Chains A and B, each alone.
Chain A
């Protein structure tokens, strides 16, 4: 686009907030009662992370991969794509993340989430729990219908935010690789929510800040004590 500087964020928003929120309402109605196993599987993730042994971590990764695969197909491709032609590309991004988690975590066993100690571990757990338990309440709290709840493993935003929380409490190269797509998504959805004047844009943006700032802070701290 040669004249890209003349565009603002709002020029890219091609649907009304009403249409966007209504998607979640219709989605939830169609997939009910999938919300219940989704929440249960979400709650199982930090519990699995606490268990010793590689098998629990591999199972965790498998569940997490499924939590990315479902919104890729069920929400982004099948629904969001009807109001945003970029939906299919976002779906592809989510599918790639699902695959990466399955390969690196479940197959290769190179993802180790937890323990939830230290500043990063505790913040990560808090971020994950916010995505799992608080995010579904946002629709109702913001004055929309409660049936428009966005749920971890079903809707993209809480899935990306919760995953960043888990990855904050993980170590190693794999965790950094796996953070890229959730980070990008948080920026994309943060921008869309921003142009829709939705205050919940603060959540994905806070997740981005945490995942970028905390490891950097930890790095500096370590450097200071070894000096």
Chain B
């Protein structure tokens, strides 16, 4: 890249015009973190599918989702998260994986979401068919719905080799006491919670507890469903963002999250190929120190 074109590229970056700013070649492999219970490494940026992949029977929209997944895998991503609650998302993921030939590479992460434990196995099987995978890498109890019964099912499946990891989820600070209780009383592999520069409730108890008990942490809603970026997106990035290589607010926020030592991965959702690349790139460079993280949070709080 010549100096001039590099400067031009930096200008587009600075202007927020990131569309062309994340060419594949520029992506280093994203940071990977171990799943504490097994030691298996998992890339620190995953892919959510709430709203973004719920596009119904619209063929061009389904193809666009497959392209997002293609870019995700090409950039080193592996974990895709979904739920039977997300409308057509599971079938969009399954069709996309088949189309791009990645059903064998995905770290298939789904949820069981049905009241009554007896209905769990049928729902999980239906989800597996929609995904088109042999088994799930991670199955989580969505929002703790009927969790006692579902957890029993999931541990059974894991023991029988029909499931690799077991987890629970919540979001936006809901039912943290119960989440804590489950973390203390059951040998779960993963816990999924909301965490970002503004929603930091989990820092007090859940993240330390996850570290103590060796539970992997998945962070959902890193951008508050996009609202966070829409709110602060128009402001200029602070100069210290350059110190950690954050070229956009999205990367700023993701780096803040990933730098917490308890966090295993974050799962931003997107409909856009450029955004998926931008998000993966956040896990490739340096991460902020604890001191810088405080400064980052204070800065966003003050905006």
Contact = CB atoms under 8 A, between A and B. Distances in A.
Interface of A: 3, 6, 10, 13-16, 19, 22-23, 26, 79, 82-85
Interface residues of B, number: 19
Given A19-B56, A19-B61, A79-B57, A85 B85 contact: yes
Interface stretch (B25-33, B47-55, B117-125, B277-285): B47-55
B58 interface: yes
Contact of A6 (B57, B88, B172): B172
A82 B175 contact: no
Contacts of A84: 87
Contact of B54 (A6, A15, A26): A15
A16 B272 CA distance: 14
Among A10, A13, A14, find the residue whose CB has the most chain B CB atoms closer than 10 A: A14
Among B50, B87, B175, find the residue whose CB has the most chain A CB atoms closer than 10 A: B87
A182 B21 CA distance: 50
A22 B51 contact: no
6 contacts: A3-B174, A6-B172, A14-B86, A23-B56, A82-B56, A82-B88
B200 to A, nearest CB: 17
Contact of B58 (A3, A13, A14, A22): A22
A16 B55 CA distance: 8
A15 B57 CA distance: 13
Given A15-B56, A82-B56, A82-B87, 6 more contacts: A3-B175, A14-B51, A22-B56, A23-B58, A79-B57, A83-B56
Given A3-B175, A6-B172, A6-B174, A83 B55 contact: yes
A14 B87 contact: yes
**Which label, helix, strand, loop or mixed, suits the secondary structure of the A interface?**
helix
Interface string B88-101: 10000000000000
Interface in B39-65: 50-52, 54-58, 61
A83 B61 contact: no
B172 A83 contact: no
Contacts of B172: 6
A84 B52 CA distance: 13
B174 A19 contact: no
Given A82-B57, A85-B85, A16 B174 contact: no
A69 to B, nearest CB: 22
Nearest to A19: B55
Contacts of A15: 51, 54-56, 87
A16 B225 CA distance: 11
A19 B88 CA distance: 11
Contacts of B174: 3, 6
B221 to A, nearest CB: 11
A85 B123 CA distance: 14
A139 to B, nearest CB: 16
A189 B18 CA distance: 36
Interface string B165-179: 000000011110000
A14 B50 contact: yes
Among A3, A10, A15, A22, find the residue whose CB has the most chain B CB atoms closer than 10 A: A15
Interface string B73-110: 00000000000011110000000000000000000000
Nearest to A85: B87
A19 B203 CA distance: 36
A19 B86 contact: no
